[in-house]
Chain A
Amino acid sequence: MTGLHILNQQFNGRMAIRVRRPGVTQLLAPLFHEDGDMVDIFVDEPINDSGTVRISDHGSTLMRLSYTYDLDTENRQRIFNRILSENRIQEQDGRQFIDTEPGRLYPAMLQIAQAVAKVSSMQYYKREVIKNLFYEQLTEFIEAQLARYNPRKRT
């Protein structure tokens, strides 16, 4: 696939590829998750004569997110959908992807890498974090709006 050679040139030769399945090639670029593992990005060869290739995560982003965070409420799902639509990424059965021409692999790869990073960051919306933020905001509100009652922190 000549697109991959162009992509490697655009990465200044610092990208590697591995064929994972017939027609599915993994891109090994210096993109990492916070847990130390590499960001999984794959290029699927075109099935028909459309000429477009698909850059996909093959479901690895949602799988990784699910270790500590599930999209199990309407709000969470809405935030997820928003991240995808704002980054122009499509999703089907948990697999995030973008279809592009071989000559535009470089920007498309960075585009999906950004979306993967943002979706992975949804773990920061965990209940415990939100709970702590709530207490902070409550304290802030009490100190700012109810100062006339001379509120004091319990020690």
Chain B
Amino acid sequence: MAIPPRLYTQQGIDELISCPTVVSEAPRQDMKLDRGHYRNDMRMRSIDGSSEFRMFMRQNADLAESFSVGLVFVPQDGIGEIVHVRCNGPNGGYNAEFDADHPYWDYHFHRASAAMMEEGPRPERAATPCREYASYNEPVLYLLKATNAKAALPHFAKLAQGVLAFVPEEPTA
């Protein structure tokens, strides 16, 4: 039988975003190439077991600066998943003719709002520029900390330790 849809307040959304979580399905060690983008996924649940979440990590294979790392709430009321937070890279530019204020040209951050849900558009539609990250690796760690998913940090040891993207070389001198 269908569960009646839940009503969301901003406080409720904020609490869900920041509730401490544990990893229920670990991410892969490395991103996997899948039809034009690299991807990784992880599942989490709140410590009290009442809420489930998904974290997605995506990076465009052609345009590395185009990435998105997000936290998705997986409710059980049948209305479908809700993207709570999404950290994006700069996606090209803005057009002052119609879109001068959109932070799409810069690293930006989407966060779900109850007002937006009430109004009708996607909860996370609004976005603001973000200076907390400037490459793909950083928003993963940023999001884990911002969403209180610190228990997941050991699964991203390579990112956390800042492993260099090239083969280390022995000193020759």
Chain A hits for B70, CB < 8 A: 67
Determine whether A148 belongs to the interface, using a CB cutoff of 8 Å to chain B. no
Tell me the count of chain A residues lying within 8 A, CB to CB, of chain B.
38
Contact between A63 and B104, CB atoms less than 8 A apart: no
Closest residue on chain A to residue B80 by CB atoms:
A128
Determine whether B21 belongs to the interface, using a CB cutoff of 8 Å to chain A. no
How does the 8 Å CB contact mask read for B124-143 relative to A, with 1 for contact and 0 for none? Answer: 11110000000000000000
How does the 8 Å CB contact mask read for B75-103 relative to A, with 1 for contact and 0 for none? Answer: 00011110100101001111111110010
Closest residue on chain B to residue A131 by CB atoms:
B78
Contact between B92 and A28, CB atoms less than 8 A apart: yes
**Nearest Cβ in chain A — how far from B152, in angstroms?**
18
Determine whether B62 belongs to the interface, using a CB cutoff of 8 Å to chain A. yes
Determine whether B37 belongs to the interface, using a CB cutoff of 8 Å to chain A. yes
Partner-contacting stretch, out of A16-24, A47-55, A99-107, A110-118: A16-24
- How far, in whole Å, are A59 and B60 apart by their CA atoms in the complex? 7
Q: Point out which of A15, A38, A132 has the most chain B C-beta atoms below 10 A from its C-beta.
A: A38
- Interface residue from A29, A58, A60 paired with B95 (Cβ < 8 Å): A29
Contact between B91 and A38, CB atoms less than 8 A apart: yes
Chain A hits for B2, CB < 8 A: 131-132, 135
- Interface residue from A26, A36, A95 paired with B127 (Cβ < 8 Å): A36
Chain B hits for A38, CB < 8 A: 91-92, 99, 102, 104
Determine whether A35 belongs to the interface, using a CB cutoff of 8 Å to chain B. yes
Contact between B36 and A128, CB atoms less than 8 A apart: no
Contact between A67 and B58, CB atoms less than 8 A apart: yes
Contact between B39 and A60, CB atoms less than 8 A apart: no
Contact between A66 and B34, CB atoms less than 8 A apart: yes
User: Which B positions have Cβ atoms within 8 angstroms of A?
Assistant: 1-2, 34-37, 39, 56, 58, 60-63, 66, 68, 70, 72, 78-81, 83, 86, 88, 91-99, 102, 104, 110, 121-122, 124-127
8 tightest Cβ-Cβ pairs between the two chains A and B: A59-B36, A94-B35, A94-B36, A63-B37, A36-B125, A18-B93, A28-B95, A16-B95
